[in-house]
Amino acid sequence: MGIYVIQPGDTLSAIAARFGVSLGRLLEVNGLPDPDRLVVGQAILIPESPQQFLIYTVAPGDTLYRIAQQFETTVEMLAEVNDIDDPDYIEAGAELVIPGWIGIEYTVRPGDTLWAISRQFGVSVGLIARVNQVINPSLIFPFQTLVIPQKAPDLVKPDAEVLAYIFPDAYGMRQAAPVAGPCLTYSALFQFRVTRSGDLIVPPDPAALVDISRQHLISPLAVVTNWEGDLFQPGLARDVMGDSSIRARTIASIRDVLAQYGFSGVNVDFENMYPEDRPLYNRFIEELRDTLRPLGYLVTIAVAPKASDRPNDPWVGTFDYATLGRLVDIMYIMTYEWGWIGGPPMAIAPLNQVRRVLQYATSLVPPEKILQGIPLYGYNWPLPDTPESRATTVTLTGAYDLAFNAGVAINYDEIAQSPWFRYTDPQGVLHEVWFEDVRSLRAKFDLAQEFGLRGVGFWTSANANYAFRQIWSLLCDTFTVIKI
């Protein structure tokens, strides 16, 4: 699928006509509830229009060799596809099928230039001009139809496993599962809280969440945490892992919960541990693996992101990537929260920082064990940023509503590969919002492919947020999602 960024004066119906797709299809793949609420700078998906073989009309002076060079193919291939007996002789005006290329019809809109169109489609001005026999590239006209040459897409998509953290909210899951389900491998139910005695506090109605997941061929995982009160407690983790009898009881409790509710495995999400407890955590995960793997359960963990070992640092020091990578089936790396509620305002998952983490992680852990974490939320910070100020969480659709209601355009940071905007609220307070859109998601999906990862995973604040169809239209267009 293509991506288009809304410009001043755009309407969805005009965009649909320009790209040769129906308005209904455009609304469907993007999950837009109101086609009239568009924001300048908003990114939307453009479904592929019906593809046609690219036809090139031979110009005076053309040779098959020159045409082959222009379209990055060979004389032999051109001759074979077009049944040309003598490659040294072609007639001006003859129409040739160009192998490996397609033509997409585009309707010129007022104000368009061939240069702008070429940038939009990633093809040279010269090639568009030659295919359309445009003598003067400066002279194109509104409502003129151009054929845009594009390399035929690779029909073989890479395989990927996809995880989504979910919450004990069956209603929200029922809303989201029909939309997200075809593109999910795992649902990770947050959270089963461990106690200092080694028992687990079971969240409300896990059986319903497991059942909904199974109905949509999603493998459910139980997320076990060291959450106590209102935060992740390092002392709780130490108590559970440091005492052999409590550790054994905790592992037995996890095993029993998996069996009782029909989970496919566990996702251990211990956070904010003491850095010096690294050996305790390694031993806990090893003993958990030795108990669960013979029973056919997956052992997965969530780890904090880091671009070097940093064994003495809080939050990240406990995680020994190399050892853990040998022990677990899947390592979900929480590659987000650079921008956090305490500020300063910035991208939540800047691509340049995520890249550094993945470069380090894949040097120690087999890439086929790693899931790259992606945030499906944004933060809205009041300005000026002070030590006391705190951001509020916004959904991806909520970010568009904020921008639309404030009448502001959305910007895009090319280094962080993330959208953002500022607006002033009715009380006169300036705000800065950073979030994710299909451009930033595509950049992250491309990064997962570049590093050969097992796949990607998502965190958001509520199950219903997974019902935003645009996410899954892009994901399932990018990957063949594995079901297990």
Residue 268 in tokens: 């251990």
Q: How far apart, in Å, are the Cα atoms of 176 and each of 166, 182, 462?
A: 10, 11, 10
Which residue among 128, 151, 174 closes a domain? 151
121 and 204 part of one domain: no
Residue 35 in tokens: 């086609």
172 and 234 part of one domain: yes
385 and 468 part of one domain: yes
- CA dist 169 and 189 (Å) reads 10
- pLDDT confidence of residue 49: 61
- pLDDT confidence of residue 156: 75
Catalytic residue numbers, as ranges: 271
Q: How many domains does the chain have?
A: 2
168 and 288 part of one domain: yes
- pLDDT confidence of residue 155: 60
| Domain containing residue 112: CATH number | 3.10.350.10
Residues with Cβ within 8 Å of 50's Cβ and at least 6 positions away in sequence, in order, are 20
| Domain containing residue 364: CATH number | 3.20.20.80
Q: If we measure between CA atoms, which residue out of 453, 442, 233 comes closest to residue 331?
A: 453
Residue 174's identity, in one-letter code, is R
Matching residue, tokens 């990862």 = 453
Matching residue, tokens 């796949």 = 455
Matching residue, tokens 């929200």 = 172
234 and 142 part of one domain: no
pTM comes to: 0.83
52 and 165 part of one domain: no
- CA dist 212 and 218 (Å) reads 8
241 and 377 part of one domain: yes
* β-bridge partners, 357: none
396 and 370 part of one domain: yes
Which residue among 151, 171, 194 closes a domain? 151
Q: What is the pLDDT along the chain (484 residues), one digit of tens a residue?
A: 889 999 999 999 999 888 878 888 899 999 987 888 999 999 999 987 655 678 899 999 999 999 999 898 999 989 988 989 898 889 999 999 998 898 888 889 898 999 999 988 889 999 999 999 998 988 899 989 999 998 887 667 899 999 999 999 999 999 999 999 999 999 999 999 999 999 999 999 999 999 999 999 999 999 999 999 999 999 999 999 999 999 999 999 999 999 999 999 999 999 999 999 999 999 999 999 999 999 999 999 999 999 999 999 999 999 999 999 999 999 999 999 999 999 999 999 999 999 999 999 999 999 999 999 999 999 999 999 999 999 999 999 999 999 999 999 999 999 999 999 999 999 999 999 999 999 999 999 999 999 999 999 999 999 999 999 999 999 999 999 999 9
Residue 246 in tokens: 């409590």
HEC profile of the chain? CEEEECCCCCCHHHHHHHHCCCHHHHHHHHCCCCCCCCCCCCEEEECCCCCEEEEEECCCCCCHHHHHHHCCCCHHHHHHHCCCCCCCCCCCCCEEEEEEEEEEEEECCCCCCHHHHHHHHCCCHHHHHHHCCCCCCCCCCCCCEEEEEEECCCCCCCEEEEEEEECCCHHHHHHHHHHHHHHCCEEEEEEEEECCCCCEECCCCHHHHHHHHHHCCCEEEEEEECEECCEECHHHHHHHHHCHHHHHHHHHHHHHHHHHHCCCEEEEECCCCCHHHHHHHHHHHHHHHHHHHHHCCEEEEEECCCCCCCCCCCCCCCCCHHHHHHHCCEEEECCCCCCCCCCCCCCCCCHHHHHHHHHHHHCCCCHHHEEEEEECCEEEEECCCCCCCCCEEECHHHHHHHHHHHCCCCEEECCCCEEEEEEECCCCCEEEEECCCHHHHHHHHHHHHHCCCCEEEEECCCHHHHHCHHHHHHHHHHCEECCC
Q: How far apart, in Å, are the Cα atoms of 282 and each of 275, 278, 291, 382?
A: 12, 6, 14, 41
- pLDDT confidence of residue 151: 85
Residue 312 in tokens: 């003495």
Q: If we measure between CA atoms, which residue out of 242, 247, 169 comes closest to residue 203?
A: 169
Cis peptide bond upstream of 110, omega within 30: no
- Structural domain harbouring 278: 159-481
Which residue among 129, 151, 173 closes a domain? 151
58 and 17 part of one domain: yes
65 and 189 part of one domain: no
Residue 119's identity, in one-letter code, is R
Question: Packing angle between helix 170-180 and helix 206-215, nearest 10 degrees?
Answer: 10
277 and 354 part of one domain: yes
Residue 121 in tokens: 């489609």
- pLDDT confidence of residue 80: 87
Residue 24's identity, in one-letter code, is G
- pLDDT confidence of residue 154: 65
Give yes or no for a contact between 367 and 453, defined as CB atoms under 8 angstroms apart. Answer: yes
143 and 201 part of one domain: no
- Left (φ > 0), alpha (ψ -120 to 50) or beta: where does 337 sit? left
